[in-house]
């Protein structure tokens, strides 16, 4: 039996994911995760967070070239749960 993953190994390595932080209510993290999990692989929601005074920022890994699509998705999600700003790491 041949190596069924050989075609995948011949593909170029994907670009690194873009790291971003989104201001989010901790209760909304599961909703946001479900939205991105059901989508087209735009972003991966992490449970890692940092506190900035009264605000809590959750980490997102965004697929290369998809930052604006993620911003649009966050704007739509904000109709259902509280979502603050998003900061993309340089």
Number of domains in the chain: 1
Residue 4 pLDDT: 75
Residue 72 pLDDT: 97
The answer to the question of residue 9 being in a domain is no
Whole domain around residue 80: which residue ranges?
A: 14-88
CA distance 22 to 9: 34
The answer to the question of residue 48 being in a domain is yes
The answer to the question of residue 2 being in a domain is no
The answer to the question of residue 44 being in a domain is yes
The answer to the question of residue 46 being in a domain is yes
Q: CA-CA distances (angstroms) from residue 44 to 6, 7, 10, 14, 33? A: 26, 25, 25, 15, 7
Q: CA-CA distances (angstroms) from residue 64 to 15, 20, 86? A: 7, 12, 16
The answer to the question of residue 3 being in a domain is no
Tell me the pLDDT of the chain (90 aa) as tens digits: 567 777 767 777 667 889 999 999 999 999 999 999 998 889 999 989 999 888 999 999 999 999 999 999 999 999 999 999 999 998
Domain at 31, CATH number: 3.30.70
Helices (H) and strands (E) in the chain, counts: 3, 4
């Amino acid at each position: 039996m041949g190596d069924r993953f050989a075609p995948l190994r011949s593909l170029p390595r994907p670009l690194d994911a873009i790291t971003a932080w989104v201001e989010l209510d901790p209760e909304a993290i599961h909703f946001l995760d479900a939205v991105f999990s059901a989508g087209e692989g735009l972003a991966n929601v992490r449970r890692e967070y940092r506190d900035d005074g009264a605000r809590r920022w959750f980490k997102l890994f965004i697929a290369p070239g998809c930052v604006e699509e993620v911003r649009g998705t966050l704007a739509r999600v904000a109709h259902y749960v509280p979502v603050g700003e998003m900061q993309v790491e340089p």
